[in-house]
Amino acid sequence: MSALTLYNYDLDENCYKVRLLLSCLGVEADQVAVDVMPGKENLSPAILAMSPFGALPVVRHDDLVLYEAEAILAWLAETRDPKGGFLPKDPDAFGRVMMWLAFSARELDAAVQARSTAMMDAPGDIDALRMAAREALRAMDDHMTRQHFDGFEYFAGAEPTIADIALFPSFALSRDYNVDHDAFPALRRWARAVRKIDGFITMPGIPEYH
């Protein structure tokens, strides 16, 4: 199989989603560092030709170019996860994974925006974004509270999937946008379960516990 190229910015949680899954799958990729802050290299013609708004991550494999982290996660799971656990074939489990991927890209995007407003001076109403992010985290905590009664430690069931990979960064980084972990006990427990996935890695802002 020919090499993968990941256009990556280390401080971007969407790039971290892809790095995390690659690590869990034990897949190597050539990483091209894109200097987003302060270099704005993501708005260079070369990147815009692959990702029309300059959003990272971007993955290139031969003629295939993909942007949108959730799509990249699904494609990686489909092509590079021989056990198939990260994107289950069972229709109901598949549906649940897709639902949480969409949630990650839609409802939880408020958290991504809140963080870039708080940390990278991106424009935005930080209070409104923080409240929207908290509502998304509440819905996640409610779901995991009920999952735990069924003995499930992950979003779509007993085993980790790309849904967990997609949802993890915004919770783990919530203190960056001033939302504490205090009110999310089920997510604290789930985050410990995510940390136990083989190949788990951190990103800046997510401490290693040593």
- Given the rule CB under 8 A, which residues bind another protein? 142, 145-146, 149-151, 175, 180-183, 185-186, 188-189, 192, 207, 209
Pick the closer one to another protein by CB: 61 or 143.
143
Pick the closer one to another protein by CB: 3 or 183.
183
Instruction: Name the minimum Å distance from CB 151 to another protein.
Output: 8
Q: Which residue carries 């708080």 as its tokens?
A: 118
Q: What residue type is 193 in one-letter code? A: A
Instruction: Name the minimum Å distance from CB 202 to another protein.
Output: 13
Instruction: Name the minimum Å distance from CB 27 to another protein.
Output: 29
In contact, 71 and 29? CB cutoff 8 Å: no
Pick the closer one to another protein by CB: 162 or 187.
187
Instruction: Name the minimum Å distance from CB 201 to another protein.
Output: 17
Pick the closer one to another protein by CB: 163 or 187.
187
